Amino acid sequence: MPAKQSIIDTDIHPVVDRKAVLDRLPEPWRTRYAGGNSGPGNLGYWNPNGVMRPDAVTPEGERIEKSPHALGRYFLDENNIEYAILNPGGTLALGLSPEPDYAAALIAAANDVFVEEWLPVDARLRYSLVVSPADPFLAADEIHRLGDHPGVVQVLMCSGARIPYGQRFYHPIYQAAVEHNLPVAIHPGSEGVGISGPPTAAGYPTSYFEWHTGLVGSYMAHLISLISEGVFKKFPTLKFVMIEGGVSWLPPLLWRLDKNWKGLRVQTPWVDRLPSEIVHEHILLTTQPIEEPENIKELHAMLAMFPADKMLMFSSDFPHWDGDTPDFTLRNLPAPLREPVMHQIARELYSLPELVTV
């Protein structure tokens, strides 16, 4: 990796301290959480690799993702990362709880932990504010509560959902986000959990391998919904980030969207131009898990089929089992995309000034 390569990592997963959350919870939620009730949980699929990398530990054996000090020293420093966007996956599934008040209280407490105990430790850290889409008005309240904090750069929701994200049910979230000039992002892993319904259109898979491979289906559904429901017509400054959903599915989906819009546009009069043009302007993707064909030229061909130099941002997914290091991603990108993908697009989206010389 070039010694002077600037890197902004748009997907790092810290783990919140349970006691720190408990200390911030009011009653009646505090007693309930102390008793072990943590929300809808997961489907229980077994990953033979584990979710977290077993080697993501300090020399003393402590987990790196549990401490901002350890994350800075043993991941950001070692990889010359200029900024890191923290996306706390542990609270995302709470957004699919059938009990919206409890979910909102837990999420707010976890948000406070990261804002108060992580962001002040390292100037390189930025935070994605988690909200529960189960109650968009409570989610909007949380955005208004912390959306102006200088370390908060994004609103984050689970990609598992009971209805597609373009529907007007969710518009209070987008209204609040644009009022605070924050992009909205989704992250996978909660498909099939809580009130979201089956994780695929065909039902429930029988293995982690099948479930994990099919997660991209929810991203396709949400993107189609966002366009066909006219979200970006109503919120013209909104940016929507699809984290950890892959990349190569986008061009053929846009071909289909454009083709069908030409024949069926009477149903969506608010979509007043090609859907692909709207996507190119408002949707962003992240690299991990980027597709890895045997012939790297095939990936480069897919990246040339959409404006990746304006839509694609580097993400490591640290410390998850299938994460990508910056040098791995650089080797897989064609040279013209390296600067935009590794830092330029994220710097503009999240308004990140040059912080350090790397």
Q: What does the pLDDT read at residue 41?
A: 83
The model's confidence at residue 1, banded by pLDDT at 50, 70 and 90, is low
DSSP reduced 3-state for 328: helix
> Cβ–Cβ contacts within 10 Å for residue 293, how many?
12
**188-247 pLDDT, tens digit each:** 999 999 999 899 999 999 999 999 999 999 999 999 999 999 999 999 999 999 999 999
Average pLDDT over residues 272-279: 98
CB atoms closer than 10 angstroms to residue 326:
19
| pLDDT at residue 262 tops 70 | yes
- Calculated CA dihedral for residues 48, 52, 58, 60, nearest 10 degrees: -60
* Terminal CA-CA length for the chain: 12
Single-letter amino acid code for the residue at 141: D
**Which pLDDT value is given to residue 290?**
93
pLDDT at residue number 37 = 87
Task: Output the CA torsion sign for 80, 86, 90, 95.
Answer: negative
**DSSP SS3 for 223:** helix
Question: 220, 164 in Cβ contact below 8 A?
Answer: no
254: pLDDT strictly greater than 60: yes
- Asked if the model's pLDDT at residue 3 lies above 80, the reply is no
pLDDT at 4 over 90: no
Domains of the chain: 8-349 (3.20.20.140)
What is the structure's pLDDT at 204? 96
Render the burial of 236-255: b for 16+ CB within 10 Å, e for the rest. Answer: eebbbbbbbbbbbbbbebbe
State the amino acid at position 53 in one-letter form: R
pLDDT at position 353 over 60: yes
Indicate if the pLDDT at residue 357 is higher than 70. Answer: no
d(CA 68, CA 120): 9
Q: How large is the average pLDDT for residues 129-149?
A: 98
pLDDT at 76: 98
Write down the pLDDT at residue 358.
Answer: 42
4, two tokens: 């002077």
What tens digit of pLDDT does each residue of 284-303 get? 999 999 999 999 999 999 99
Cα–Cα dist 153/109, whole Å: 18
C-alpha 107/C-alpha 346 separation (Å) is 25
| Average pLDDT along the chain | 96
Q: In the prediction, which pLDDT does 105 show?
A: 97
CA distance 29 to 33: 6
Taking every pair of Cα atoms in the chain, the longest distance, rounded to a whole number of angstroms, is 63
Query: Which whole number is the average pLDDT over 47-51?
Result: 93
Residue 34 has pLDDT above 60, yes or no: yes
Q: Output the six-digit token pair for 87.
A: 């996306």
Task: Kindly state the tokens that stand for 350.
Answer: 């999240």
Q: What is the reported pLDDT for 354? A: 87
